Structure 1
Amino acid sequence: MNTLNTVAPDHTSSLNRCSSHPTPALSAALSSQADQELEKWQQDRKHWEDALPVLGWLSHCLTLQPVEQPGFTTVSTDGRYLYFCPVYSATLTDTERRFWHAHLIWHCVAGHLYAPLGVHAHRWHLACDHEINSLLLALDVPLSDNAVLFPARCGHSALQVYHWLADHPSPQSESTPDIHPAALWLYGASALADPALIALWRRRAHLAAREIPALPTMVAAFCVSR
């Protein structure tokens, strides 16, 4: 039996069931634009099932959720949902949308669902974005034009890049278009890390390294190290 199936989304599993933690306010009914954009994100999953199986599998671990909430104008994830603003989504090309889809998945795999106490929030976000964008490069996922990447630090951990950025002359000049998972509390989500959810994503990372063929060495090693 393929052990990947044991951690695929399953509404009967307590590990995958959405908890009582609050999430960004969700509309009772979606607009026609939200429905149209949701279909695009769903089609990305089908694209990856053939083109990049690791993303095809991991994407099903997140529920796609359009958010039509004032002030929420980009994309984010809390490890259960992948949130996107339909208006923002409509401005993206297929390549850009698939980049953000993959980017948010790897925030979860990397354990970026919270921020260590005392870190500088923007610098930590830059470091996390760089870490996973380096992995996406290894997976041959095209990056968006505004993706955070410090070529001299490819292969370095988020913590290493965070400390390196302390000497950056102007870190505020670097932008992070998405919302870091740890900052979702500004939009009504829980500010507390969920250890069970983080452990679940760690397990998924280990399974991906073991079960999915042809992962680049760098990516497989990263998954094993979670």
Structure 2
Amino acid sequence: MTGLWERAKTPLAVLGGFIFLLWFLEFVDWLVFNGALDGYGIKPRTTNGLLGIFYAPFLHGGFGHLMANTMPILILGGLILISRGLRDFFIVTGLVMIVSGLGTWLIGPSFSVHIGASGLVFGYFGFLLLMAYFERSCRAIVVAGVVFFVYGGLIWGILPHGDGISWQSHLFGLVGGFLAAYLMGKNQLDPSVTPTGEPPMEDNIVIHDSYDI
């Protein structure tokens, strides 16, 4: 039990710190800036709106908006941390943030501002699902099954629906998660490549003689 706690301490601290930062920023925005920080989100096809790619996941349109994203981030992000480790969590988060933000910046409606961490939620969702295909381990398949059972309804969020909902960030967040899974998992489908990315040692190759009958 002690060993498990030691391994889990850092990932839990990182995830908890990330959630704390989201709530702290929203509280400061509400108390000090009266919601003005939301204007620093993604503004499609504007130069200053590009910076919103990095700001948007940390900004929310109220505590209700933030609450809706908090639990999925805790669960899905926690599953990535537990199953893949701290390094992969940061890689997935960074890649999803960029793909989701850039896609939203490219195709989002003009004169709109996009904020929120829902792109990360969809990215984590997509990553966990597709990694089951690449990893093909019992653990990854069970995780993907549970994720789809609990959060499968998220898939409808990539379709255009309702004013005030950034389906673009949902769609490209999912794409970012798929891309992260592909980049991390493609070598696991190639028998000529070891998990470290190196060709297998000759000692590991078994040669079978063939005979003509």
TM superposition score normalised by structure 2:
0.33
Q: Which is helix-richer, 1 or 2?
A: 2
Question: Whose relative contact order is higher, 1 or 2, with alpha carbons under 8 Å and at least 6 apart?
Answer: 1
Which structure dedicates a bigger proportion of its chain to strand?
1
Which has the higher Rg, Structure 1 or Structure 2? 2
- Structure 1-normalised TM-score? 0.31
